[in-house]
Structure 1
């Protein structure tokens, strides 16, 4: 359980870097540099994105990475980036990664061995989103935003856009031509950036992967993470539900719901169909042990499963924790000593409410002070809409030929999956219905997957190759594959993931751990996934854009 939580934290910090780069197609042209790597060190007058390259160094090839020109610099005023340009194997593609949490550091963008050759056909880039976070965990530090509007703007909406402009300019300078195709891939905050780019900068990228997107940013960080922190804190300031209770709670949840899809495989395929009452493992009066829940723990667990509500019972976020996600709560919702004793949900929410959630110069709040009322929800809106990626008007992205792949794990402990399903349903309704929307935007919901492709039964998911095929060859993704690996890297499970709302059903033959033995089926019963909540009017409020 602790290993899984650590993986979830690592995935959030390096949310974009878990995704693999596409491989070159046999026979396609590679581009050689038209100038030396060192020649890139200079200032570039990119409109709206003046770019300063501070270093450009040739990095020798290794067993897993191609020789590349490692470019480091910043876009004014302070958006640091790293761009890696293959010197011998570049085939014309550009891939930009998103970042996780509040960002604050440049995570080196990876080359991945995809066979032709070592993934080096792609130029890759990443950014810190315009500020440097303080240690030990830079991703939850928000103090940089306290009195710096430029840094706020860079993080909220500007940084991914200007880094794409800067990178394309440098690619043109190095290879003599701009990239033929450009892609963006991110998870968590990187997923928010992905949606934001499709919504506000529809011509920046040809294909976009938005994983577990934090698109409902203000309500998610200001309200939902605060809810997770407060409902599990007792009057004495100590956690109510503790980590030692999670295995028993998870086992009870699986016992109640695992076979609802007709297959007992340790994962709940569709938590929406599950009706689990944690009171079924309530401790007998006067007892308390790791195998049961006290009355206070039963009530806290019910609240963790539920979305936050205001004084009138109206939902303040579209969803809560899903049944089946319990083991992943350790470290995120429930304090873990090895992570400093503060739940990550609380750290994010407190930093957001203290330094980022309200206009500079206005009163701020904190986890301790925040009240779940409609008034407090509305006070988050003026600043929240600067970061939110909630617009369903993607007409320009669609007209430009853009392709969008959204994905989310049903057992995500950090960002409720219900929000992404709600967004996709609203997107579908605003863009001509399911069939018309599937022509350019598809959603994949992964059973049992935790935040940003971590988990227990499934540990990896990456639809980027399918996106590239869709963009470049017109092959829409009808199936993707999620993978489970053990600590030694051995694959123990594969499972197909079909476009929403289709689900994977075991065909009755062969191993239940082999993706080949599953077929797509519609859900057992139609579901209404558009959620009526306090943020209904936020979908029509577009945030600012940078030149």
Structure 2
């Protein structure tokens, strides 16, 4: 078996590239707002002009790039009017890094100010996005064309939440697991240097969900690829995350004949009950959900009682379902199989993700696990499996981790090489995320603190921001528009660490309808009753302890390659 695709496959892939490259980024829609100093980054840098024609990029021979042989499919000028990223003209380059890393690169024609931005993917990826960056609303370098912007499909063709068949090809799985973003960075920087006659002065990475996973993979495995990294709602505990989604599905679809015990009609009254028990400030958001211990048994229907629109109550079965969602996936010994759970206050965001519209409907949790158990978790395909075949046992946990964590996970808390290289990392997460528990980001960040010398030593280069009421990569009930990208650029270029961000809700007319500050973990913003906020330490977050079957540690990573026709896996990061 060969490491790279045979020429016919490569030609077919290149032929399909031009038609596919304009697909929308798979991280989900995320409108973002400004930090306290939004739009300040790179404002005074002089633009650098290209030293070659855009069309000439198509003739470049990039086949000799070590580890990332590349062919250019097209290089055409994109007018400012047609650029979805902002009012700036670009040279739009499309190409393929062997075997199937399809990419797009927008090179500013007259506005480049010396930096490169790589934007992550979402779900199972499989498509090349437009380059629209999450958590970057109001970021002037983005809208003014100061960045060269690159995106890729993470090494395979497909759709965001399906088409997991690539997982049974070890080369494609490795590209998805840890290789593609590094290879994309190498190729993009090579093209940038040829086009402008000089290398990028600074490089940044911005991604959410799977893009957040990619972001942390870069910080851990390839610490010199990027100077600044924004990792939103990272799916970095990829293998164990399977247990969370499968657990949610088992809890919800536990009714007669496998029907759902909860539907979306139950979520608003359930959420209202949670607010009554947990929202002391009456602002409709649970500011400190880790500290909330509200029990759904408090609204269990009495004997003979039926829930109505006027008086909502839960059946005994529904109480069990909600308790299991709040507990997280547990093994037979009571330990968590994934370092997270659904937080109280996130209930409205369960719609479609955890809870179906109708009792016989489906959810994205079920779909996600189906793809994983069939094509991604095992060396061979198992199309007969589905979400309800997942066993919540210590034995199964160890089996799946052994098969996958070395290639697929990004949970190493040792970021010393990234810090030594001058790297800056901003992790952000919606507290009410129904898809990837924000507890998992808290647990990872606390492990980084422990490994990197404590809280103060960690905040020198890495900070975590938690957005109350916000769902997965945006949306939800809390203000979710932030500009984390400008904050990281300022941190890298000016040495100004972000002590706060501003999260906003922006209406359809572009008017800001709500805003609140967001502080670095473990600080939270608490309404003072007069329309303002005070900064307080969340004792619950600071003292968070997760009784997790796994651990955040170094040394689990593996690297894999074809050697003399054999797929060889060894310990290592890169």
TM-score scaled by structure 2? 0.86
Check conservation: 2:525, 2:536, Cα contact below 8 A. Answer: yes
- Partner residue of 2:524 out of 480, 483, 503: 503
* SS of alignment partner, residue 536 of structure 1: coil
Q: How many Å separate the matches in 2 of 1:30 and 1:180?
A: 12
Q: Which residue of 2 aligns with 1:174?
A: 195
Cα deviations by residue, 1:179-235 (Å, 9 ceiling, x for unpaired): 110000111111111111000000100000111111110000x21111111111124
Q: Which residue of 2 aligns with 1:110?
A: 132
Q: Is the alpha carbon distance of 1:78 and 1:17 closer, same or farther for their aligned partners in structure 2, counting shifts above 3 Å?
A: farther
- Partner residue of 2:336 out of 315, 321, 327: 315
Check conservation: 1:483, 1:491, Cα contact below 8 A. Answer: yes
Q: Is the alpha carbon distance of 1:497 and 1:132 closer, same or farther for their aligned partners in structure 2, counting shifts above 3 Å?
A: same
- Partner residue of 1:69 out of 85, 88, 91: 91
- Give the C-alpha shift of residue 293 in structure 1: 1.7
For residues 187-336 of structure 1, what are the structure 2 equivalents within 5 Å?
Answer: 187-220=208-241, 222-233=242-253, 234-259=255-280, 263-286=281-304, 287-289=306-308, 291-336=312-357
Tell me if 1:98 matches 2:114: no
- Give the C-alpha shift of residue 362 in structure 1: 8.8
- Give the C-alpha shift of residue 336 in structure 1: 3.6
Tell me if 1:369 matches 2:389: yes
Q: How many Å separate the matches in 2 of 1:48 and 1:336?
A: 47
* SS of alignment partner, residue 139 of structure 1: coil
> Unpaired runs of 5+ in structure 1?
1-9, 512-516
Q: Which residue of 2 aligns with 1:14?
A: 27
Q: Point out 4+ residue stretches in structure 1 off by more than 4 angstroms.
A: 15-24, 111-117, 361-365, 537-540
Q: How many Å separate the matches in 1 of 2:357 and 2:97?
A: 38
Tell me if 1:521 matches 2:536: yes
Check conservation: 2:115, 2:146, Cα contact below 8 A. Answer: yes
Q: Which residue of 2 aligns with 1:34?
A: 51
Q: Which residue of 2 aligns with 1:514?
A: none
Q: How many Å separate the matches in 2 of 1:418 and 1:491?
A: 29
Cα deviations by residue, 1:486-527 (Å, 9 ceiling, x for unpaired): 344432111101111112133454x3xxxxx32322225674
Q: How many Å separate the matches in 1 of 2:28 and 2:488?
A: 18
Q: How many Å separate the matches in 2 of 1:270 and 1:255?
A: 14
Q: Is the alpha carbon distance of 1:315 and 1:500 closer, same or farther for their aligned partners in structure 2, counting shifts above 3 Å?
A: same
Q: Is the alpha carbon distance of 1:239 and 1:404 closer, same or farther for their aligned partners in structure 2, counting shifts above 3 Å?
A: same
- Partner residue of 2:479 out of 451, 455, 458: 458
Superposed CA RMSD:
2.5
* SS of alignment partner, residue 515 of structure 2: strand
- Partner residue of 2:186 out of 165, 169, 173: 165
Q: Which residue of 2 aligns with 1:360?
A: 380
Q: How many Å separate the matches in 2 of 1:276 and 1:462?
A: 33
- Aligned positions, number: 523
* SS of alignment partner, residue 318 of structure 2: helix
Tell me if 1:351 matches 2:371: yes
- Give the C-alpha shift of residue 159 in structure 1: 0.6
> Unpaired runs of 5+ in structure 2?
1-22, 560-571
Q: Is the alpha carbon distance of 1:158 and 1:311 closer, same or farther for their aligned partners in structure 2, counting shifts above 3 Å?
A: same
Check conservation: 1:188, 1:452, Cα contact below 8 A. Answer: yes
Tell me if 1:534 matches 2:556: no
Cα deviations by residue, 1:63-92 (Å, 9 ceiling, x for unpaired): 842000111111111100110011000101
Q: Which residue of 2 aligns with 1:395?
A: 416
User: Which stretch of the first structure deviates more once superposed, 355-364 or 295-304?
Assistant: 355-364
- Give the C-alpha shift of residue 453 in structure 1: 1.7
* SS of alignment partner, residue 322 of structure 1: coil
* SS of alignment partner, residue 91 of structure 2: strand
Q: Is the alpha carbon distance of 1:165 and 1:61 closer, same or farther for their aligned partners in structure 2, counting shifts above 3 Å?
A: same
- Give the C-alpha shift of residue 353 in structure 1: 0.9
- Give the C-alpha shift of residue 351 in structure 1: 0.5
Cα deviations by residue, 1:121-154 (Å, 9 ceiling, x for unpaired): 1111111101111xxxx21214322531111011
Q: Is the alpha carbon distance of 1:410 and 1:160 closer, same or farther for their aligned partners in structure 2, counting shifts above 3 Å?
A: same
- Give the C-alpha shift of residue 327 in structure 1: 0.5
Check conservation: 1:324, 1:448, Cα contact below 8 A. Answer: yes
